[in-house]
Structure 1
Amino acid sequence: MSETKSRLSHFIDYFIDVTSFDGALRNALEALNKKIEQPEKVSYYLRSHPGGYLREIYKRRISIAESYIKIAHALESNAYEERLDALETLIQLSFHAKNIAMPLNTARVQIALMKEAIKRKGNRRRQLEILSDFTIASFGQGPVIRKMLRELNLVEVPEEGKALKDLDLGWDNHVHDSMSEGRKTPCQVLLDAFVKGISSVTLVYYDITEPQIIKESLVAGKILGIEVRIGIEFSVGKSKQRRHYKYLPGMFATPEQFFKFFKDNSNLLDVFIDGLKKNAESRKVVIDTIMKHFNDTHIVRLNQGYEDLAHLCMKPVTLSDLKKHVSSGQYSRIHLGELIYTKLLETSYKRVLYLRTQYQVAKNKKKIGLISQWELDQLTAQYETVRRYYEDMSPERLNEKFLEDRAQVDYDSAFLEEDNIFPQLIACGGEIKFIHPLQIGMKNAVSNIIKNHKYLTRVETFNNTDSARRNPNELILFNRFIEIINNKSINELHRFLNEWKIQDLPEDLVMAAFNHYHEKPIIPKCGSDATGRDPKIPGMGFIKSKSIPRSARKWFVNTHAIIPAPISSLILGEGLPVPESQWQKLAEDEKHIVLMGNKRNRRKNPIGDESEEEPISVNRYMKYLNPWIKNLFRLSIGIVPAYYTFYMQFSSKTWGLYFAALWFTITFLRNIIVDLVAAHGLDVKEWSWNDVNFENAFQSLFWTGWSVPILNEVKLGFDSVWLMSGFVSIWLKDIVKFFFICVANGTYIYTHNTIRNFDDKVRKANFFRSVMAWPFATLTAPIGDFFNVPSIVQAKMWSDTIAAFIEGTGKFTQRIVIRKRDLSEILPNLSSEDRFHRMAAALDVLYIWARQQRGQTCLEQILLNKTAFYKIFRKRESSMEKAQKQEYALSTFNTLFNFFHDEGCSIALCNFVIEYYSGKEAELLTNLIGSHFEHFKEWLYSIKMTIERQEKALSEDGRIEE
């Protein structure tokens, strides 16, 4: 019975696998996994514009994957330039999908999907699903992208053509990368921030001894359009009593400006830099002490019972191991904990395999009576205990268990008192922020803020990492103190200090702090303190709830943690209460600060004998069904109501099948012709099935089939009412009949468009085109009636004819916009001083002109300064704007003409291709040059003649006016 069940299960799995996805997607996955397996061989340089000849030789999704793989695998600090190059490539590729409606959100979704696909290597089914979603996302349809944003737990950002830093969305004032305690490089951290929709990030470091990491942070922020600020974390005080601060030297647009600041203020900051170095050395001594203690005590206990089996014993942790484990920056307790986890995980895995083998052998021995049940039970318990320990092991648990608390092992800071360093920091500009205030206790935190009122400008009132282990009431009480000292009376401040028995502060000091903070409030801030390590703590990012689009706000707020109201209110007001008039204007769901990260469950460490695939639901199976099977299914379902309706009307299977086929042919041809004409116009020889979106065509067939019985019922209902009305005019009958049919058709289309989450503009356009068919169907009704064509078919013909025009125009316009966008980005590179950029731009232009849909039309419009037909109804340009555009067009043409008519240009392009490419790539590009170079030159000459004729005509017009 068990064997039969297993065979059935295997057959079901096999059937699901065979009937899911298509060959192209499977080939893409194979190519992706090859890249993942050989990260050192990936190509991440963008050798062409994403809309140029790159499309001929590389698949966009694979290029995106290669770029991300390089960012994720090149972890050494000296590989920062490779990471930045890969990041720039990734962003440029991501912003050039097949859409113009939601480029920023589409880029975020596709990067998130590719990241997940790479992470899921080993789970073939899940990878295929993600790649399928990636392909669908490329079209950038609003409803699809919004649905994927929800599935990926991301907030939608406004599409205003601005960088994230200009949208004032998410922020995080305290984030770590691999230079301090974080797991990821600056490029990875900031790419995650981009995907989340974060506008500004403060990256925190313990020193600035590795300038390449600072450079990576600031340059990566510029590439991603994120505002990046550098903070330097340091401590003050003696061992076990240290207070933690962050120095914020200011905002810097470039790394050069950042380091110039420290150079210009070296007389004030040298002491600070030296102190940071001393603290780093002290941390190393602490780590060495903890490491020695772990090796002397904990390893002995961990190896108990395995002393005679050296291969099952954990080896001591060494300093050289730790240095290898930390790719850049200073090693810390967190890094030591991760190293211990890695070593113990490997050892525990071997123990699990060892005991599992003994357990399996023992079971067989028990079956034949060689051992007792008691002996088997003892071995089973030992095996299950070791297995559970391995599966549930995590760095966080090991840190808590084995690494001493700071109260046990700590160091004296190089800065024993705030007065030793604060005046110098303030003197050269910037701000000082008090972080982790409650680590030193409520009393000490309050006293510290009062004592250092001359220097402190900010305080961290909410920290994800700290708050996760703290009583929320403690946070609210500390926030209450900030509110009092900033806004309330001196009596309330005294009452608070008395309640907490803080009575050792001189009255004049308390009064001075009170007056200072009333004049310059200390600003409360929130920071995640994210390191990317502990899944139980929400990750990076905060956002005001009012910044979340209203359509997604309720969902986002309900599925994410929010900062307690008193704390968030004071943060929103920057230490002051939000004015009552403003607060009352906010809806209840607009008053929160929401955490953009979520807690996650840590997956169990795998052994290898677990079930490979998770159960697949019916909905999930249908979603990723092979496209052609899915299309056949849609056709089969859709044709049934259409056939049955016409069969009942004519009482004939032949006529029923004929009109059902006609109905479906009209719909199918409309979709096909729209795609073909949008791609290549009326140039039939250029038409290709590859330009047809069959998924959309068969979706239309499914929904159009169900419209037949609905429209037929409307028509029959009208006939009944008309007979009872007593009217006899045939023309009036046709006018009213087709009005009701067309409105009913429009209403049906609008309804199923709503069900399918189409954009409001699309729904309204489809309703409009159905109603537009009314007068045309009425005029041609006598001809249709003569040939006995059903009224609903006549209305259908006109509705789809108008739809073809509207949809074709829309797709045509989109292709024109995309192509002109690409050309506008490429053409300026022809004047670049860099030879590579010039040659690549020339090849891009030649490729778009020769091979890309609407390439020639778009280039002609740019060079001749023609207005595209879809812009003729827009606001008219001023004479100055026209003159500027004309000047740009002429300048661009001259540059392009001179480049391609330069003696030896074709040879230079050929040499460029052979120098930088090889194999199939070189063959394709040299063929492009050989086949189209001379034709392009002739075309450019014809453009020159046109320009000269235009100039001559303008000159003659000028003379006539004179």
Structure 2
Amino acid sequence: MLSYNFIYFDHNDYLLVELFNSILSRKKDQARIRSLLSPYLKPHGIKELAAPYGIRIAYAVFNLLGSLESDEVNERLHALSALKNEVMATSKTTLRNNRARVLIQIAKEIIRSGNDEQKQLRLAHDFRSVSFGKSSFIREQLKKYHLLEMPEEWNQLTFDDRVHDANSKGRKSASHLVMDAWIKGIRRLRVVYYDFLSPEVAIELYSAAQILDIKVEFGIELRAVVRNRYVKFVWTPKNIIDQKDIAEFFENAKVQEIMQFGKTSQKIHAEYIRRVTAKFNSVHRQSIEREVGVKIPEIDYTEFQNSLKSIAPTLTHLGKYVHEISLPHFKQRVKELAAVYLVASVEEKSRIDKQVDSINLLDPDTITVRYLSPQANSELPNPNRPPASKEAPAPLVFSPSRLTGKLLSASPSSRITLILENMELEDALELVYECKGRITHFELINLKNITEEHFPNRVPFNRLQQALNTGNSIGLKKIVRSCVDKLKRGKEPEQNEQLAKLIHIQQHIEELKNSYKHRKIRTRIGSGSTGGSLRAIGMGFAVADTLPPRARKEIKENPDRKCLPVSANLSLVIKYMSQRNIPLISSNFLSHVKDAFLLREILQRKEKKWEISNYQIEHGQCGNISPLGGLSQNTGNGLSLIRQKPDTVNKTEPQYINSTLKNLFKIIIGFIPAFLTFYLTKDWWVLAWLGGLIWFSITGFRNIIQSILGGGGLKRSPYLVWSDFINWNRIADSLLFTGFSVPLLDWLCKSVVLDRMFDINVTTDPTMLYTIMAITNGIYITGHNIMRELPKEAAFGNFFRSIISIPIAIVFSYTISAILYICGVPEIDMLIQQWAAVISKLASDFAAGFLEGMADRKENIIARSWDYEEKIRQVLNFFSEMEVRFPNKDLLSLLESPAEFIKLCRSRGINDDSILMANALDLLYLRMYQPRAKEALQQAIRGMSKDEKEIFRSSQQILNEKKSVSHIIVDGLIGNNFSKPLSFYLRRHEGYLLELDRIIAPAKAS
């Protein structure tokens, strides 16, 4: 149980942490929550009655982080889809995509924070603050988690041409990897596998990428033999988009043959891993014990294989497994040393410090390099060298020409990437010629295998690319001649064979050039990220020119971001697309807009797209490509002799103070100048004592009216009470700043400047008085709106409403004067002069309540339009799927008789009826519970075709089947707590269907 502190953190922070922890400890009914991941239940739909958004996000992230089982693929994909929908629905204001990225990242951090209560509470508070926080707070969180801000248009050029998931040598499932890529802002990804790939893994990869709108490819790394050494290629099939394409690809007999070769290679490599494991048990364990005094248990190879499930083992996997087995023993040893350290001598402490440092160095990367690599086991056959035996399996002795020929024969549109690791220019030149144009890409950079001092070595390869791509015979001739001259100076016997080949190429330059007459050699740039290395840069690259200014500044000024001497040559394509249904503007007029630049900018939707023509290596300077990841600051095992003190809230962290206390403090701070101004400057006791309260009441009441008007007004849903629309943080901010407007308007502007200096008052010139006060108030409001990071449209709109308030203030002033005159009150002008600032304030807030309420209304309608657009698309797509399943049925007629439809589905053993019910319940809840849903629904229906209206209406008729719908709710569609959803459905579905008929009937007629 969490210990409650009423000063720091909110009640909802504690609740959110408890919900997260219940997920982690699996105390929650997993089956109940799992139903909430159904792709047919949307975030603002009926599942809101079952669980708050925080727990839904937590469960989705938990499923993605913790599952590698192949039979859990569908659950991971459902979790990813639900997660994307949840965070995008939660991110309703500015920086929508960036806000969603931060939400997922914080959810991951909460799950990983273990039992650290204070850290969890901080993260929970940040999580809730991000949902509705200011843009500056979102940017702080992006920086905190080393994420670059991405453009909200989501048109940035971000990519990684080489990453690995758990099915090669990474630690993440394909879904988890794609999710992390989206968090980083990556839009194009290539995942590389070794030797073999199963169709199930490819399906998960492409399905996950489709959910997050990432362009993804898979590559299979294969090896060929050249003069007793391996050269590596990555085979990337093209034009694979969906599951159908994947199935066709893997059903190809030639592809199956290549996959069979890959399986053979994997078996040979697995045998090497087994022998390395035996060597580790017999030799290297003792070395570790001698070095750091820790006895590691023997590694059971069978258990290691079982831990990988069906994944082919690699040295990287083995290194992580050894570390996982060893870490508890490392911790125990450090604990023992810590006890000795307290009473040890200076010399003994120095020895213990060194021993702990050595233990800390033994992370997975160090264990792999120091004890498991071929260099550390030289007596075993090196898997990175071709076998000497002529009876070696075929895939281990393919020549480059034969291998690339097989790959293109299996998939003619494939791309084949040559990996330049450990390769000289003459090697690449020879392979390019031998493969006759089949090499389509150079892997110019793989950050896993290249360091800064190696970048200049890539320049010659870049020149070779440029010469081939431009058909530059002179350039090619110079490159070949330099390679020939270099080999002539060499003394290695094997160079003679290569020299002969290069001389042959020199004599056939035209043939080399013509092999790329109709194609180009493109560039691949990859991180080689596995998601588990502490000593390697994380995945992703960005072309800086395509990022927002703040992100470009971060790249330039942050020393932790690695500089790459590579530039992309860019072009910007701008597309203008006509918008339909613009009020008062004819389609005839819109067809001529393209000829008028200014009108085109205003009336057409603009889409910007960046394109890369080529890459080039810069000489000794930074290019415009920057890694999205950085080096971890926490390498090693993180063990210490000094026990860390429990984390506590720093008293200088006001962002974690309880929100209610913070809001109360803001109100008090704002009330003080308001009260003092009236108290010190007014003679009449009503204004002196109650002026500040009256001023605050006007502002508070205006905010409440504005929120109610924005949420639905007097005709709002009966399920939404007025307090559901109130944002108390916004009201507290508004009261804070309105308090400081009292001395500005009432004392400085009205009394000191206008009355005393210029003799402008209610008696001499009331119009000028209210005009200047309104303009002053407008400037002040606009200034603090910008400081509060409200949208600029709202900030400058508030200045506009101050102008509108001028005639309103004058009308109020004369009306009050008339009433006072009728009542026989003496000295009316003097009385009105005292109240002039209050009257101006009342007029301003009267205008603001209406204008800002309409702005909130528009924002809510936009949010509901997003909801309806997604939900209606889902309904129509599902109807199309049913049309395929029931080719001989008139589905529209069938759906008008839902009992018959349910009977048909159950007779065929399919769950289409349940899906239809889930969709209909979601739409019912959306209409009844979400603000401004009625207007958004009417707009959505007006935008439908006649057939779409019929489909939509018919799909909702299933709600008339009370028994079946009640049964699916009771069975746990939206959790075990079904009483409230069931009652809601039974009471409201009939009225909803009647309303739908009323909306659709005139829409159909029009």
What is the TM-score of this pair, normalised by structure 1? 0.83
| Cα distance in structure 2, aligned partners of 1:181 and 1:239 | 28
Quick one: which amino acid aligns to residue 122 of structure 1? N
| Cα distance in structure 1, aligned partners of 2:868 and 2:523 | 48
Quick one: which amino acid aligns to residue 89 of structure 1? A
Q: Which residue of 2 aligns with 1:681?
A: 713
Q: Which residue of 1 aligns with 2:732?
A: 698
Deviation, 1:191, is 0.6
Q: Which residue of 1 aligns with 2:353?
A: 384
For the pair 1:611 / 2:644, whether they are aligned, the reply is yes
| Cα distance in structure 1, aligned partners of 2:763 and 2:951 | 60
Q: Which residue of 1 aligns with 2:594?
A: none
Distance change (3 Å), C-alpha of 1:463 and 1:72 = same
Quick one: which amino acid aligns to residue 339 of structure 1? Y
Higher relative contact order (CA 8 A, sep 6+): 2
SS at match of 1:456: coil
For the pair 1:345 / 2:327, whether they are aligned, the reply is yes
Cα deviation per residue 1:800-838 (whole Å; 9 max; x = unaligned)? 111111221122222233334434544563975512211
Cα deviation per residue 1:906-926 (whole Å; 9 max; x = unaligned)? 112111122235985222222
Distance change (3 Å), C-alpha of 1:906 and 1:223 = same
Quick one: which amino acid aligns to residue 64 of structure 2? I
Q: Which residue of 2 aligns with 1:115?
A: 108
Deviation, 1:32, is 0.8
Q: Which residue of 1 aligns with 2:964?
A: 908
Distance change (3 Å), C-alpha of 1:633 and 1:168 = closer
Q: What pairs up with 1:798-947 in 2 under 5 angstroms?
A: 798-826=843-871, 829=875, 832=879, 833=882, 834-855=912-933, 858-859=936-937, 865=942, 885=945, 888-889=948-949, 892-896=952-956, 898-901=957-960, 905-916=961-972, 921-930=977-986, 932-933=987-988, 936-938=989-991, 940-941=993-994, 944=997
Q: Of 160, 171, 175, which aligns to 1:187?
A: 175
| Cα distance in structure 2, aligned partners of 1:194 and 1:98 | 15
Cα deviation per residue 1:823-867 (whole Å; 9 max; x = unaligned)? 45445639755122111123223333444434456556666x4xx
| Cα distance in structure 1, aligned partners of 2:837 and 2:974 | 59
Q: Say whether the 8 Å CA contact 2:158–2:540 is kept in structure 1.
A: yes
Quick one: which amino acid aligns to residue 697 of structure 1? I
Deviation, 1:443, is 4.7
| Cα distance in structure 1, aligned partners of 2:95 and 2:316 | 40
| Cα distance in structure 2, aligned partners of 1:675 and 1:846 | 23
Q: Which residue of 1 aligns with 2:888?
A: none
SS at match of 1:790: helix
Q: Say whether the 8 Å CA contact 2:96–2:152 is kept in structure 1.
A: yes
Fraction of identical pairs, as percent: 22
Deviation, 1:769, is 1.4
Q: Of 493, 497, 505, which aligns to 2:483?
A: 497
Cα deviation per residue 1:918-957 (whole Å; 9 max; x = unaligned)? 9852222222234x14xx42564466478779999x8xxx
Deviation, 1:651, is 6.1
Q: Say whether the 8 Å CA contact 2:337–2:641 is kept in structure 1.
A: no
Q: Say whether the 8 Å CA contact 2:158–2:543 is kept in structure 1.
A: yes
For the pair 1:282 / 2:263, whether they are aligned, the reply is no
Q: Which is further off, 549-558 or 174-183?
A: 549-558
Quick one: which amino acid aligns to residue 698 of structure 1? A
Q: Of 391, 397, 403, which aligns to 2:372?
A: 403
For the pair 1:509 / 2:505, whether they are aligned, the reply is yes
Deviation, 1:717, is 4.7
Q: Which residue of 1 aligns with 2:200?
A: 212
Q: Which residue of 2 aligns with 1:332?
A: 314
Q: Say whether the 8 Å CA contact 2:101–2:182 is kept in structure 1.
A: yes
Quick one: which amino acid aligns to residue 258 of structure 1? I
Q: Of 713, 718, 721, which aligns to 2:748?
A: 713
Q: Which residue of 2 aligns with 1:876?
A: none
SS at match of 2:800: helix
Q: Which residue of 1 aligns with 2:297?
A: 315
Q: Which residue of 1 aligns with 2:599?
A: none
Q: Say whether the 8 Å CA contact 1:96–1:103 is kept in structure 2.
A: no
Distance change (3 Å), C-alpha of 1:610 and 1:504 = farther
For the pair 1:57 / 2:54, whether they are aligned, the reply is no
Cα deviation per residue 1:251-270 (whole Å; 9 max; x = unaligned)? 31123312422433x2x445
Distance change (3 Å), C-alpha of 1:199 and 1:824 = closer
Deviation, 1:474, is 2.3
Alignment size in residue pairs: 878
Q: Which is further off, 218-227 or 269-278?
A: 269-278
For the pair 1:44 / 2:78, whether they are aligned, the reply is no
Q: Which residue of 2 aligns with 1:8?
A: none
For the pair 1:132 / 2:125, whether they are aligned, the reply is yes
Deviation, 1:154, is 2.9
| Cα distance in structure 1, aligned partners of 2:724 and 2:152 | 30
Q: Which is further off, 593-602 or 567-576?
A: 567-576
Distance change (3 Å), C-alpha of 1:21 and 1:797 = same
SS at match of 1:673: helix
Quick one: which amino acid aligns to residue 715 of structure 1? K
Cα deviation per residue 1:652-678 (whole Å; 9 max; x = unaligned)? 887444211211111111112222333
Q: Of 716, 725, 735, which aligns to 2:767?
A: 735
Q: Which residue of 2 aligns with 1:30?
A: 18
Quick one: which amino acid aligns to residue 415 of structure 1? V
Q: Say whether the 8 Å CA contact 1:523–1:575 is kept in structure 2.
A: yes
| Cα distance in structure 2, aligned partners of 1:817 and 1:335 | 48
Distance change (3 Å), C-alpha of 1:446 and 1:648 = farther
Q: Which residue of 2 aligns with 1:6?
A: none
Deviation, 1:210, is 2.9
Q: Which is further off, 606-615 or 500-509?
A: 606-615
Deviation, 1:88, is 1.8
For the pair 1:662 / 2:694, whether they are aligned, the reply is yes
Q: Which residue of 2 aligns with 1:291?
A: 277
Quick one: which amino acid aligns to residue 55 of structure 1? E
For the pair 1:72 / 2:51, whether they are aligned, the reply is no
For the pair 1:93 / 2:86, whether they are aligned, the reply is yes
Q: Say whether the 8 Å CA contact 1:476–1:567 is kept in structure 2.
A: no
Distance change (3 Å), C-alpha of 1:803 and 1:146 = farther
SS at match of 2:282: helix
Q: Say whether the 8 Å CA contact 1:64–1:93 is kept in structure 2.
A: yes
| Cα distance in structure 1, aligned partners of 2:791 and 2:996 | 40
Deviation, 1:72, is 1.2
Q: What pairs up with 1:416-435 in 2 under 5 angstroms?
A: 416-427=398-409, 428-435=411-418
Q: Which residue of 2 aligns with 1:531?
A: 530
Deviation, 1:128, is 2.0
Q: Say whether the 8 Å CA contact 2:927–2:934 is kept in structure 1.
A: yes
Q: Say what the alpha-carbon RMSD is for the aligned residues.
A: 3.6
Q: Which residue of 2 aligns with 1:770?
A: 802
SS at match of 1:237: strand
Q: Which residue of 2 aligns with 1:623?
A: 655
Q: Which residue of 2 aligns with 1:10?
A: none
Deviation, 1:377, is 5.0
Q: Which is further off, 885-894 or 391-400?
A: 885-894
Cα deviation per residue 1:376-396 (whole Å; 9 max; x = unaligned)? 556545543443333443111
Q: Which residue of 2 aligns with 1:958?
A: none
Structure 2: 5+ residue stretches without partners: 387-394, 489-498, 572-610, 818-828, 883-911
Q: Say whether the 8 Å CA contact 2:10–2:658 is kept in structure 1.
A: yes
Q: What pairs up with 1:535-684 in 2 under 5 angstroms?
A: 535-559=534-558, 561=561, 564-565=564-565, 568=568, 574-575=613-614, 592-602=624-634, 604-606=637-639, 610-613=643-646, 621-650=653-682, 655-682=687-714
Distance change (3 Å), C-alpha of 1:394 and 1:499 = farther
Distance change (3 Å), C-alpha of 1:564 and 1:617 = same
Cα deviation per residue 1:418-464 (whole Å; 9 max; x = unaligned)? 12322122233134544441324455345434443532110011111
Distance change (3 Å), C-alpha of 1:886 and 1:772 = farther
Q: Which residue of 2 aligns with 1:394?
A: 363
